[in-house]
Structure 1
């Protein structure tokens, strides 16, 4: 409410307000320009069909290997949990758009969007930091290998995610959209620089007398390269579009530019777990025939590994 507005309002002002009052709309001002929002929700349907099972499978794999975990597994587990939660909200979003029209449900959905906006970039940044220390600064990585450091960093990510999501639900905060733009720019820049440094260090580290290390470094190279591809595909569109908000009309930016940019960001809830599962030597809980049918690249890698071991024998 304007600070200069009188209270209570004059009778004629109240009458005008009653005449112009509109029921709550979950399209949030884009009632006549819904194409961008529907495009985002359609893309999110992939998260329901593929993303949720893939993220649950990632969690199951991490639980199964909990006795011999990797240092970044805690970040992967948090990321899979957050992505599964976000994907589970998509059916509720469709029901609220076309059936419930509930403001309370819309607040819960805005909270889930805040979780996705914050947790994904921050947790991926943590994974990049973990790999960066392991490859570029191995001595420092050895000193910081204890899980307490990763638990503390994960707790910080959860706190920031909760604060951002709560502020998104409240809404109306001046310049709040700039917070996400700044966050996505900062995390994108960090992840690109970090992964580029890792790739450069891995390419330099191969040399004479290190033949026994080459397979491990080649695997690390593939891991980092896959993360870099995820960063570019999922985060480059919003990074390229959102900083130019002032060049678009408010309606075009809110109803078209933002939903399309977020669609690329939201589909990462499916791409991230699939990339992780594709890097596994063997996907547990799934029969080999199923893996060979749907993941021919994994099957080909297994065949190559088997033939190489047979040759060496």
Structure 2
């Protein structure tokens, strides 16, 4: 993820002369800037930073709550919980880095801090799509190949996939932090296209299989299958909202001018990916029947207030709609 790819997420470095150059230089060396040429085109960067601010205020507490709930419910853990926990941890880490981004943009202007921030961008770029792909794979095998799923239910297979994702994430993030690699942005474009396609195929296949399992009446789907249907549908909505803008915009990089792509297209596209750090935990929490650590009276009061608001807004709706 690169909130501001060339400006804030750029993997490129300013052009430097070879160490053995003997050319006489009259020009002053351009000072380091995290905006990297987008100083006069910061609207899309601020748009991305606004979403990242939401991640700090809402996303960090939500992701920490998800981790706490997963630990609390580990005796009744599902096979996907290890992926959910790692995803929540990575999203919380990315949110924690956002205040450093603000300080470095407007106060420190430190190249070293910027390197650490770029590493966190790489973590967000890679870990989110890959862990979501693992969740989709787990659900895909469970629904369409239940016998095979029973044979592969042991936690060691999930641990192996988790280690692979962490290795890929560290490799990508380190390369992004170092910068200077030719056409490195195309690596992310290829990754996002591949994972998006995979997740769409998985989730649509699962939804189709669950829908076909209904009886003559639409209400005859088994309660567990209904729950799985809602979960997969929510993941599909997340995928479309957070990843589709990148899939639409990034493959056409060559059709934009370099400044437009770096300063507008990339930050705006990454903003939708970044806000997934808040949307994903909130969607998970909304699917829970009961929230641990919260007094039941508070939950009931909140639910009653919400239902009261719905009743108040009900009469204003068109009855024929």
Same fold (TM over 0.5): yes
Is the Cα–Cα contact under 8 Å of residues 215 and 221 in structure 2 kept in the other structure?
A: no
1:308 maps to none
Report the Cα distance in structure 2 between the residues aligned to 1:194 and 1:296, rounded to whole angstroms. Answer: 37
Report the Cα distance in structure 2 between the residues aligned to 1:218 and 1:151, rounded to whole angstroms. Answer: 28
Which stretches in structure 2 are left out of the alignment for 5+ residues?
1-12, 309-321
Taking structure 1 as reference, are residues 296 and 80 closer, same or farther at Cα in structure 2, changes over 3 Å only? farther
1:9 maps to 21
Is the Cα–Cα contact under 8 Å of residues 47 and 271 in structure 2 kept in the other structure?
A: yes
**Shift in Å at residue 20 of structure 1?**
3.8
**Count of residue pairs brought into register by the alignment:** 293
Report the Cα distance in structure 2 between the residues aligned to 1:112 and 1:296, rounded to whole angstroms. Answer: 40
**Structure with the higher helix share, 1 or 2:** 1
1:147 aligns with 2:159: no
1:282 aligns with 2:294: no
1:304 maps to none
Cα deviation 1:116-152 (Å, max 9, x = unaligned)? 0000000000000000000000001000000000000
Taking structure 1 as reference, are residues 296 and 46 closer, same or farther at Cα in structure 2, changes over 3 Å only? farther
Tell me the C-alpha RMSD between the 2 structures.
2.2
Report the Cα distance in structure 1 between the residues aligned to 2:50 and 2:106, rounded to whole angstroms. Answer: 14
Taking structure 1 as reference, are residues 271 and 209 closer, same or farther at Cα in structure 2, changes over 3 Å only? closer
1:24 maps to 32
**Shift in Å at residue 294 of structure 1?**
5.8
Is the Cα–Cα contact under 8 Å of residues 79 and 138 in structure 2 kept in the other structure?
A: yes
TM-score by length of 1: 0.88
**Shift in Å at residue 291 of structure 1?**
3.8
Secondary structure of the 2:25 match is helix
Taking structure 1 as reference, are residues 24 and 211 closer, same or farther at Cα in structure 2, changes over 3 Å only? closer
Report the Cα distance in structure 2 between the residues aligned to 1:155 and 1:190, rounded to whole angstroms. Answer: 20
1:127 maps to 135
1:100 maps to 108
2:5 maps to none
Between 257-266 and 211-220, report the one with greater CA deviation: 211-220
1:231 aligns with 2:258: no
Is the Cα–Cα contact under 8 Å of residues 188 and 235 in structure 1 kept in the other structure?
A: yes
**Shift in Å at residue 288 of structure 1?**
3.8
Report the Cα distance in structure 2 between the residues aligned to 1:50 and 1:173, rounded to whole angstroms. Answer: 35
1:167 aligns with 2:167: no
Is the Cα–Cα contact under 8 Å of residues 214 and 220 in structure 2 kept in the other structure?
A: no
1:40 aligns with 2:48: yes
Is the Cα–Cα contact under 8 Å of residues 121 and 187 in structure 1 kept in the other structure?
A: yes
Between 25-34 and 92-101, report the one with greater CA deviation: 25-34
- Which of 64, 67, 90 in structure 1 is aligned with 2:75? 67
Secondary structure of the 2:76 match is coil
Is the Cα–Cα contact under 8 Å of residues 278 and 298 in structure 1 kept in the other structure?
A: no
2:314 maps to none
Is the Cα–Cα contact under 8 Å of residues 75 and 123 in structure 1 kept in the other structure?
A: yes
2:223 maps to 215
Greater length-normalized contact order (CA 8 Å, ≥ 6 residues apart): 2
Is the Cα–Cα contact under 8 Å of residues 45 and 264 in structure 2 kept in the other structure?
A: yes
TM-score by length of 2: 0.86
**Shift in Å at residue 168 of structure 1?**
0.1
Taking structure 1 as reference, are residues 121 and 299 closer, same or farther at Cα in structure 2, changes over 3 Å only? farther
Report the Cα distance in structure 1 between the residues aligned to 2:169 and 2:151, rounded to whole angstroms. Answer: 28
Is the Cα–Cα contact under 8 Å of residues 291 and 299 in structure 1 kept in the other structure?
A: no
2:64 maps to 56
